[in-house]
Structure 1
Amino acid sequence: MDISLNMVMLIVVLIVIVPFAWFIWAEKSAVSKKKKTFQKIAQSENLKFTKVEYWNNHCLGYDGQENILLYNNLSTSDSEFQKVELDDVRKCVINKINKDYKNGDKHYSEMVRLDLEFTFVSNKPPMTITLFNVDDNFSQNQEVARAEKWLALINKHKYNKNNIVAA
């Protein structure tokens, strides 16, 4: 009786645990492949990241030698890589889009999108890098702090005519 009860418990535990373990392994494998793809694209562009960050389905890297920022949203299979030459950036700002809700006499605000918006010295059109979109990921994990950290790095390395050294 004890052996059959233990076997039933073991089978039930395996039926519950194995799918969770498989989903976790599959997700980590997919993210690992996407990280490798991001690194391969960086290598093909001759970029060597001095700073790189992965979160949710996003990759953002900075090459200090070339002064280039490379971004990719990994949630879509055909996603494009966005390359920003910081020597050409005039201004970068954080654009936080909120949606307001009202429930009786209580007001709520929820972040819907968080972008870094670039304007350039040259005639290139403005560019937007989306760091958070509620449609891609429902959970928030310090996105505002992450955006502020990258904005500080961008402002430190962006085009500044006062920093140009005469040849």
Structure 2
Amino acid sequence: MLLKWRRRAKFYVIKLLRAGQGNHKVALGFVLGFFPCWFPTFGVGPALSIFFAKLLRTSVASSIVAAGVGSVAWPLLFFANYKVGNVLRAVWSKEAPIAEVDDLLLETVPEPDYAHAADHLNRLGDMGLNFMVGSIANSLVFSVLFYLCIRSLLARYRAPLLRTLRPKKKIGRTG
């Protein structure tokens, strides 16, 4: 099973490197393939990656490779989205004036059960907002960084990688 996955990964990498497309199209295809991985797409991410790659006429092979990498890295991306969103919201939010806080504290709460449930739902809403802010920020920043890195790596290492992945000729009998 592992050998099958390894062969398939090698096939897509070779297909990606041999593509007659320029470094720009391959790097952009990778970025478009990884972009949906920052958001919870509930299994539609790889299809979205291929759709975006075909829509913008970039490399579909690099889009598939990036979607595969992003699918495996989803738990880390989820955690990064939440943490970055939490930091950004803390930086951008301002403290409420003390008079408003005092007014809120003086109001009576009708039922303690409802107050607890409302507080819990408010915290869940804040977590969702933190996640969305983080996913938007991460997707934009890392799309630019990935594009620049992939394009420069392809410009420098495309030919040596193809020579490395070329099948070895067997020496011996040919008959």
Q: Is TM > 0.5 for Structure 1 vs Structure 2?
A: no
Greater relative contact order structure (CA < 8 Å, 6+ sep): 2
Could you say which structure has the higher helix fraction?
Answer: 2
Greater Rg by CA: 2
Q: TM-score, normalised by structure 1?
A: 0.23
Could you say which structure has the higher strand fraction?
Answer: 1
